[in-house]
Every structure is written in structure tokens, then in C-alpha cells.
Amino acid sequence: MAKKPSKWLWASAGLTYLFLYLPLVIVVLYSFNDSRLNAEWVGFTLKWYQKLFHNEKMLTAAGNSLLIGIIASFFATILGTLAGIAMHKYKLRLLPFLVLTPIAIPELLMGVSLVIFFVIVNQLIGILELGFVTILLSHIAFCIGFVAIVVRARMQGMDDSLVEAARDLGATPFQAFRLITLPVIKPGIIAGALMAFTLSIDDFVITFFTAGAGASMLPLEIYSMIKIAVTPEVNAVSSLLMLLTLALIVIATKVSPSALRANS
């Protein structure tokens, strides 16, 4: 007979989840606060969302971040999936080092190294100024490793004899991948794509270094807004970002019910 969890275990779990989610609840709640300051609750209002939707600068920054997030997660998912499969299949010592180094080093160091690289390339060929393209390339490079980790972990539970059996029965390498490997790792691919999109859309450090002077990105706009104080308009932006993330999770569970589970 299984032993029931103790009261201390329930209490510690409750406090942990409270610590994680209470700040998010407060952010959402105070996005409806009818006061410029977040010191106290005054009353319910939707004016901060109305003001946000009429803020062209913020809408432009949000659009740029969404576009880069979608493109970066698309390419990072493709390259990260291939890298994860390669790390599982070939067992090369150098390959994991090359793939995982961008996520192991501090973002500050990666941001500095990327901006130096882009400046040197621009001086040599003159077509890579800091802006939208450099942000996109940086986010792709940063997110590949996260996708590769998820896909490789998914590959660990796969029976390689299934692929060998498909090849023995006459399947081409592409057919074996499409019919055997891809359905098995699809939850990992979806989870990796969600992670890449989330990391891209809210990244600040790398974006700050590679954006250049004229780029308008959502994390940079939020940072400029909170230099003075955290206003309800910032809370409104944060609430919409949380809503977008939750929507993506719901879509992922509908497309692939096992995408967010440990076992399929």
C-alpha cells in the first residue's frame, strides 16, 4: 500500500507553488488597477489595456518581437532537431560541446561575443549592420541548443531496432525517419519549439547587445518603461505575454497530447 504524502510535504509544495505563481497573479491583478502607481488597489479599469493598444511604439515593438520569435523558433527547431538526432546517433565528443556551449555560457558573454562578431563581419563585407537580422541570427544561435537537448532526451527512449527493422523491410532512410523517428520525437520537437519561441520573445540581454540604435523590441521597450516605475501598462503587457504563452501550451497539448508529458 502506497504511503500518503505527509502534511509537511503538502505544505512545502504549496509554499513553493505560491512563491512561483503569486507574483504572476499580482501582475495580472494590478494590470486592472485604476491607479498610476502599484502601491495600493484603487479600483477596476481597462484603461491600461486601451492605452497599450493605442501605443504605436509598443505595438511595433511587440510585432517585431513576435516576428523574430516565430522565425527564430522555426529555424532553431529545424536545426536543433537535426543536432539532437546527430548527438544521439553519432556520439561525437565535439558535437555536444559545439551545440550546447551557447546555452552554457552566460548570456552577457554571448551578447558581447555576438556584437563583436557582427561588427567585424560588417567591417569586412559591409552588409551586416546591427538590427533586425543580427537579432534574428543571435536568437537562432541561442535557441538551437535548447531544442537539441529536448529532442536528444526524447531520442533516448526510442528503440533504434524499429528503424533498423524498417530499413530491412525496404524503407529508405527518409521513409524510416518520417514514419518511425518523427512520430516518436514529435512531442519533443513541439516542446522545443515552444521553449525556443518563449526564450526568443522575452530575451533581453542578447537583444540589447545585438539590436543596434534603431531596433524596436518588446523587452527593450519594457525596460525603458520601468526605469522610472512599474506602471499598470507594464503589467498589462506582461499579462498579455503570459496569455500568449498559455495559449501556446494549450495548442501544443491539442496538437500533441503527450508533448508536455515525461512519457508518451
Output the pLDDT for position 82: 92
Taking 70 as the threshold, does the pLDDT of residue 261 lie above it? no
Q: Looking at the DSSP assignment, which residues form a beta bridge with residue 33?
A: 44
Tally of CB atoms within 10 A around 97: 10
Query: What integer best gives the mean pLDDT of the chain?
Result: 84
List phi, psi (to 5°) of 33. Answer: -80, 130
CB contact set of 141 (below 8 Å; sequence gap of 6+): 102, 114
Average pLDDT value for residue range 127-153: 89
Cell of 63: 510585432
Average pLDDT value for residue range 100-105: 85
Tens-digit pLDDT profile for residues 214-247: 778 888 888 887 776 667 888 888 888 888 888 8
Largest interatomic CA distance in the chain = 71
List phi, psi (to 5°) of 212. Answer: 80, -170
Output the pLDDT for position 3: 63
Taking 60 as the threshold, does the pLDDT of residue 258 lie above it? no
Tens-digit pLDDT profile for residues 32-87: 888 877 777 888 888 889 888 888 888 888 889 999 999 999 999 999 999 999 88
Under 8 Å between Cβ of 77 and 189: yes
Q: How many residues does the chain have?
A: 264
Under 8 Å between Cβ of 184 and 84: no
Residue-wise over 236-250: b if at least 16 C-beta within 10 A, else e?
A: bbbbbbeebeeeeee
Q: Looking at the DSSP assignment, which residues form a beta bridge with residue 44?
A: 33
Q: Is 37 helix (H, G, I), strand (E, B) or coil?
A: coil
Q: What is the distance between the alpha carbons of residues 199 and 35, in angstroms, rounded to a whole number?
A: 31
Taking 70 as the threshold, does the pLDDT of residue 126 lie above it? yes
Output the pLDDT for position 128: 79
Q: What is the distance between the alpha carbons of residues 263 and 229, in angstroms, rounded to a whole number?
A: 44
